[in-house]
Amino acid sequence: MSFHIRQANNRDVEGVVNVIHAVFDEYSFTWEEDGYHADLYDIETHYTGCGDTFFVAEKDGVVIGTIALERFDLIPGAPGDLKVIEGYSRVQGCDCSLERMYVHPDSRRFGAGSGLINHVIAVAKGENRSAMELWSDKRFGDAHRLYGRFGAKVVGDRILDDPDQSPEWGLMIDLRQP
């Protein structure tokens, strides 16, 4: 499957919501437009305006996958240990995170997920980021295997403050490794 990856903007909201909503429907998760998913309806404010970047994978003008790179100051402490910051478990030693990684169910197994992760890791490494955290619902076994191919290691878990109180694995990717 041929696709390309580019930075998203508010013109992509419909496609972004379509992809992520399809995954939420697939797993019977609750959709919360005015709460947990509000960031998806204004990408430019919630990502670009905060110094973060939201990307889409696109095939023939249709969004088939999403991913975001959040940037922040280094979380102090022993790399890989968890620290509660503003009520959320975070991974110490990280200075960025992979967010909103989803591929539409009809577009899986064609390399879009790998391409998106490769892209975000390359951007983070290009900015000399040291380590990336990511949190993923424990039911996303295929995603965890994919993250593992990029060196992600499980470092802990938490219950997400979303409508479903989803249990998540916390993972860390050391960006200083080749």
pLDDT higher than 80, residue 178: no
Q: pLDDT tens across 97-144, in order?
A: 999 999 999 999 899 999 999 999 999 999 999 999 999 999 999 999
Query: How much is the average pLDDT of 155-159?
Result: 94
Residues constituting the chain: 178
pLDDT digits (tens, 9 = 90+) for 17-72: 999 999 999 999 999 999 999 999 999 999 999 999 999 999 999 999 999 999 99
Q: What is the pLDDT of residue 87?
A: 87
Distance, CA of 164 to CA of 105 (rounded, Å): 21
pLDDT at 13 over 70: yes
What is residue 88's predicted lDDT score, i.e. its pLDDT? 86
Give dist(CA 161, CA 87) in Å, integer. Answer: 9
Which amino acid type is present at position 117?
I
- Fold assignment, 4-174: Aminopeptidase (3.40.630)
Per domain, the residue ranges of the chain are 4-174
b (16+ CB within 10 A) / e for 67-102: bbbbebeebeeeebebeeeeeebbbbbbbbbbbbbb
**pTM (2 d.p.):** 0.95
